[in-house]
Amino acid sequence: MKRKQKRILYRIIISAVLLAAVRIFCPDEWWAAFIYAVPYVIIGYDVIRKAVLNIAHGQVFDENFLMVIATIGAFATGEYMEAAAVMLFYQTGELFQSVAVGKSRKSISELMDIRPDYANIMRDGELVTIDPDEAAVGDEIIIKAGERIPLDGVVLEGESSVDTSALTGESLPRTVRVGDDVISGCVNQSGVLRVRVTKPFGESTVTRILDLVENAASKKAKAENFITRFARYYTPSVVIAAAALAVIPPLFAGGWLMWLHRALIFLVISCPCALVISVPLSFFGGIGGAGRQGILVKGGSYLEVLARTETVVFDKTGTLTKGVFNVTAVHPESIDEGRLIELAAYAESYSTHPIAKSILDAFNTEPDRSRVTSCEELSGKGIEAVIDGLTVCVGNDKLMDSIGVKWHPCHHVGTTVHVAVDGKYAGHIVISDEVKETSERAVAALREAGVSKTVMLTGDSDKVGQDVAKRLGIDEAYTELLPADKVERVEALISEKSEKGALVFVGDGINDAPVLSRADVGIAMGAMGSDAAIEAADIVLMDDDPAKIAKAIGISRRTLRIVYENIIFALGVKALVLILGALGHANMWAAVFADVGVSVIAILNAMRALKIKE
């Protein structure tokens, strides 16, 4: 409990003791108002102060104003005990609300307490501690056991277990070795790692995450905006209604004090605290609960739209597949498998194409480029190179046809790269992208969650794309698409969905950024995803697990359900007690429950959004 909260608690205790003593020992005389005023001022002076300051700034109609008017009016009508007690219980409820909100915020701040404080860097042979933002790309940092990884990088030396739970929600640590990428914000659990920095601190994973979380509150859901507008008109309306209740009935039936007392009860009941606090807190809790699962939501508005998901559209590479290509030599003709890959790697050694990189990775040896005496890239076909005096052609079917070499068709799914040496067919290599272990489960979970259609868009060949879609159970697949084609296809899918339904696009590459922006909700892969994709997306999956999409939809629906529960409960109870108060069947104690009690119950319900069922 914070110092301010403790001070309020002490005031509550002192006021409660004084009020009990006054009630027991003070006679029921007119001058008792001055004695009851002591516990009233002790517990309520800050409410009175806020009301006065708000009025001075032109903000008249708020809960402070309502409480002050109602309680002072109770004093004026001789209800001294009720006036002081209402203020006491109001402050008790406010304290409870403050503690509840603080607990929720603390839970989320602990979740996001991943900002590294320092980095250990090697300079002139010595280990120096610096601020992470002082490190540059290419610097080598040392991460000891128990330390938080300060910057994104690649492991140069060492092996260790890394706790990624703060970012991904995964409880099991991940083992990293030489050559593996590590991301900032994770904790090194065991061995010492030497890491080369690949991104400056301002562009690191931890900085991006913190920026997303800090900006989440700025994107309010429609329900939050509705409550803000509702409170703006609701409070003046009930003040006018209370004034009418105090003045109009006595003109016809008399009993001015009775109707004034009912009007004051009406004011206490009408405080909109339960709605104003619990609805934003529900969305805040939903965002925090999603964050615990490694799902970063950029605002409550996206949770609200996600709950209406009808169609989910996937990119293929890096989203449903690992984006790491397997290279396999298939049916070598005149040479063995190792030699086939070696020749292909040397021919591709000057290329920056992803396929070339995959072949070089499979060769796993730095090519001696002095062995390559000439190299020509044939647009749309492949590469022709002279390696150790041998003419090596590496490419597609068109290349083989152009040089008059009879090639063998490949029956394996993947991109086929043919190799010919001195005009003779040597064999072919199949490059395939491995499907993620969780992709099939992810599609099945979406179907269970009520998603009516799943679609895959890819620039890959039709054979590869249709095979992946069939294996995963995806309803529709569109292949060989350029980035502009993907946008057109998403536009068409949006026009096909129902008016209330939402289309979600999931992608990871820089070419997915336009589609992520166009979809109703864009979801990006946070670990492998490009900066452009993460910037354009509304939701980020920190561990690139597509199975988290169904979980995100479940969290959004649970959050919306809690929000609507609070709205219906608060308005329903208030409407009932307001009617009873106007008819004289509800006293100040019922008014306190309609305000403070309803607020506490609604806040407790809102905090359920933080607790996500596995």
| pLDDT tens per residue, range 155-168 | 999 988 888 766 65
Instruction: For residue 589, give every residue at least 6 positions away whose Cβ sits within 8 Å of its Cβ, in sequence order, or none.
Output: 82, 85
Question: Could you give the residue ranges of the DSSP H alpha helices within 293-336?
Answer: 300-306
State the catalytic residues. Answer: 315
Q: What is residue 469's predicted lDDT score, i.e. its pLDDT?
A: 92
User: What percent of the chain has pLDDT above 90?
Assistant: 23
Helices 222-253 & 273-292 angle (0-180, nearest 10): 160
Query: What gap in Å lies between CA 182 and CA 152, rounded to an integer?
Result: 6
Q: What is the Cα 587 distance to its own chain's centre?
A: 45
| Residue 238 and residue 67 in contact, taking contact as beta carbons nearer than 8 Å | no
Q: What is residue 74's predicted lDDT score, i.e. its pLDDT?
A: 75
Work out the end-to-end distance of the chain between its first and last CA atoms, rounded to an integer number of angstroms.
30
Query: What gap in Å lies between CA 148 and CA 141, rounded to an integer?
Result: 12
- Alpha-carbon torsion 580, 586, 591, 593, what sign? negative
Edge-to-edge strands, sheet with 153-157: 126-130, 119-123, 140-143, 193-197, 153-157, 181-182
Query: What gap in Å lies between CA 93 and CA 80, rounded to an integer?
Result: 20
Helical (H) or strand (E) element with 514: helix 513-518
Q: What is residue 166's predicted lDDT score, i.e. its pLDDT?
A: 63
Query: What gap in Å lies between CA 283 and CA 299, rounded to an integer?
Result: 8
| Residue 245 and residue 263 in contact, taking contact as beta carbons nearer than 8 Å | yes
pLDDT band at 104 (very low <50, low <70, confident <90, very high): low
Query: Is residue 334 scored above 90 in pLDDT?
Result: no
Q: What is residue 273's predicted lDDT score, i.e. its pLDDT?
A: 67
| Residue 448 and residue 418 in contact, taking contact as beta carbons nearer than 8 Å | no
Query: What gap in Å lies between CA 544 and CA 531, rounded to an integer?
Result: 14
Q: pLDDT tens for residues 407-442?
A: 888 777 777 889 999 999 998 988 877 888 899 999
- Of residues 439, 520, 529, 509, the one with CA closest to residue 209: 529
- Alpha-carbon torsion 248, 251, 255, 260, what sign? positive
Of 125-134, 139-148, 268-277, the poorest mean pLDDT is in 268-277
What residue type is 24 in one-letter code? I
Is domain 323-434 in CATH 3.40.50.720, yes or no? no
Query: What gap in Å lies between CA 36 and CA 540, rounded to an integer?
Result: 56
Query: What gap in Å lies between CA 340 and CA 362, rounded to an integer?
Result: 11
Query: Is residue 588 scored above 90 in pLDDT?
Result: no
Q: What is the Cα 133 distance to its own chain's centre?
A: 25
Of 264-268, 433-437, 531-535, 610-614, the poorest mean pLDDT is in 610-614
Query: What gap in Å lies between CA 106 and CA 247, rounded to an integer?
Result: 47
**Structure tokens, 295:** 């799902």
Query: What gap in Å lies between CA 208 and CA 433, rounded to an integer?
Result: 28
Q: What is residue 388's predicted lDDT score, i.e. its pLDDT?
A: 92
Query: What gap in Å lies between CA 122 and CA 124, rounded to an integer?
Result: 7
Q: What is residue 285's predicted lDDT score, i.e. its pLDDT?
A: 78
**Interior CA angle at 174 toward 169 and 178, to 5°?**
140
Please give the model's pTM, rounded to 2 decimal places: 0.67
Q: pLDDT tens for residues 284-321?
A: 778 878 877 888 888 788 888 999 999 999 988 778 88
> Rg (Cα) of the chain, in Å, rounded?
33
Instruction: For residue 197, give every residue at least 6 positions away whose Cβ sits within 8 Å of its Cβ, in sequence order, or none.
Output: 135, 136, 137, 138, 139, 140, 141, 151, 152, 153
What residue type is 266 in one-letter code? F
User: Which has more pLDDT, 2 or 580?
Assistant: 580
| Residue 472 and residue 449 in contact, taking contact as beta carbons nearer than 8 Å | no
In terms of CATH, what superfamily is 300-320+436-537? HAD superfamily/HAD-like (3.40.50.1000)
| Residue 209 and residue 114 in contact, taking contact as beta carbons nearer than 8 Å | yes
* Domain range annotation of the chain: 3-110+217-283+558-610, 300-320+436-537, 323-434
Question: Which whole number is the average pLDDT over 64-75?
Answer: 78
**Structure tokens, 98:** 């403050």
Q: What is residue 548's predicted lDDT score, i.e. its pLDDT?
A: 92
| Residue 602 and residue 596 in contact, taking contact as beta carbons nearer than 8 Å | no
Residue with tokens 């996600």: 306
Query: Is residue 476 scored above 90 in pLDDT?
Result: yes
Q: What is residue 93's predicted lDDT score, i.e. its pLDDT?
A: 73
Q: pLDDT tens for residues 187-234?
A: 898 889 999 999 888 877 777 666 655 555 555 556 656 666 666 777
Average pLDDT value for the chain: 82
Q: pLDDT tens for residues 85-94?
A: 878 877 887 7
